[in-house]
Structure 1
Amino acid sequence: MAQSDRTIDYGKLMHRAMRGLIQRVLEDVSREGLPGNHHFFITFDTMHPDVEIADWLSDRYPGEMTIVLQHWFDNLVVNDDGFAITLNFGDNPEPLYVPYDSIRTFVDPSVEFGLRFESQDGEIEDEDQDEAPMQEMVEDEEPEPAQKGAAEVVSLDKFRK
């Protein structure tokens, strides 16, 4: 039997599966609300072409932004490509649209769960950032001290060739 040059792209399959996991979690939250102490820190690439945020937010966060889904959010609508949500920024409700492909990290500190997505085009992010504990990556919104515990991160880099 001849060997094929075809390979299984485990990294791409893992990315798809993990984004599907985020979709299912957010769909459940949109129907039932956040259970117990669960809350999410979601860091995404604000320069992704399908991200929709107010101009003042993209000016303030020109590369990436971390949002917190915890105490107040509204209009959470989840679809196959991403999610829309309204969040409060200093008493200013702002609608956002975040495609799954723009997500860099998804963390639920209440259960020490975290996912990190490396860029799809092969770009490697800063070596220092890869070594940074998760808490340093999600402090933009200044969570309460009890919420700053480092989460276990599942890195998908080890599945890439």
Structure 2
Amino acid sequence: MAALICILAILLEGTLLDDDWDKCPPEEELQEIICEPSSDKCKCTAADTPLLAWIPEHQAFLDETLHLEGHGSPGSPCCCGAATPLFRCHDCFGTQMFCHECMLNSHTYNPLHRIDMWNGSFFQCTTLKQMGLCVQLGHHPGKKCYNPQPSSSDDFVIIDVHGV
């Protein structure tokens, strides 16, 4: 056992004890560095402080964000000229709102889009199925089946990239 300890001590002496990380460099004389202010003034650009350039515009950005999160301009009719539109689509391009009929007509080819309905205070999620959109499998979108068969159950789950 004593021989094993001697061998380990010799091995450790040659490797671990002579490690460069453990050696401290000799202390050198510290020199004091004095920085004097330069007479040349720095030229600052808007890229140096982007938030300072944005501060005068913050109210316009906030107003637009709240406008997009809310019902929009009050009293603006639907594209068909009907009464106040209540529905918007997350997946369609644009921020326009639609009435019930226009929303269903514009989504016959996109039955999985996510729809919000204005309830008077805020937008709440709804589905095209809850709005009455019916998809006839095996038929062209928007075309009625001439020999419809009632389904045994329309309680099924669709899995999409936006959720279940």
Normalising by the residue count of structure 2, what TM-score does the alignment of the two structures yield? 0.20
Q: Which structure has the larger Rg?
A: 2
Normalising by the residue count of structure 1, what TM-score does the alignment of the two structures yield? 0.21
Higher relative contact order (CA 8 A, sep 6+): 1
